Structure formats: C-alpha cells, structure tokens
Amino acid sequence: MVAKTIAGKTVEVNEDGFMTNPNEWTEEIAVEIAKEEGIPELTAEHWKIINFCRQAAGTSGKAPTLRQITTGTGVSTKDLFALFPKGPAKKVARIAGLGKPEGCV
C-alpha cells in the first residue's frame, strides 16, 4: 500500500492503483483517475455508472460485477464497453474509488 497524490489529495492506493479507502474519494479524483485510464472526459453517462457503483458498494461494501452494473443501471454491456473500454467493471471500480471487483473463486 502506498500513498499517492491525486487531484491535490493524498490517498492510499494498493499495488494495482485501486484506492483502499472509498471515503477518501472525491469527484475530482474520479476525473484524474479516468484520465489515467484513457478517458479524457467524464460525461453524464459515465457519472450514471460511477454513481451507481458508489451506491451499490455502499450497501454491500464491494465493487459490483459487470452483470450487477448492467442489471442495476439498464445500460447494456456493449455500451459499458464503449464508455469504459477494455474492462469496464474493473475500470469503473478504480475510477469510483472502490476496491478491485472480486474475482470469483
């Protein structure tokens, strides 16, 4: 675990660059991490997904899976891949300041 300064705020991140304390997250941090992930601008569609993930994690404490995101937001998997290219579940979890989605054993 290392301390990292994102958008002027020092936060803890793990070896994969995921924030370890969701309470340290701010919207400014999300914008910065999104840039690192190759998303230059967060649109309203992006925020809808990010906010859903923040909410879902709030009740269960962990980042939602891809299927939980599509079921919960009504956004199709195809569109999710367009918004957060390559691995949407992982990417949005990182931007939303949540842990890495648990791989299923």
Q: Which of 24, 32, 45, 81 binds another protein (CB under 8 A)?
A: 81
In angstroms, give the least distance from the CB of 72 to another protein: 8
102 binds another protein, rule: CB under 8 A: yes
Which residue numbers are catalytic? 104
Helix (H) / strand (E) element for 10: namely strand 9-13
Which distant-in-sequence residues (6+ apart) come within 8 Å of 71 by Cβ? Answer: none
Amino acid at 91: K
Residues that bind another protein (CB under 8 A): 66-68, 71, 77-78, 80-81, 85-87, 102-105
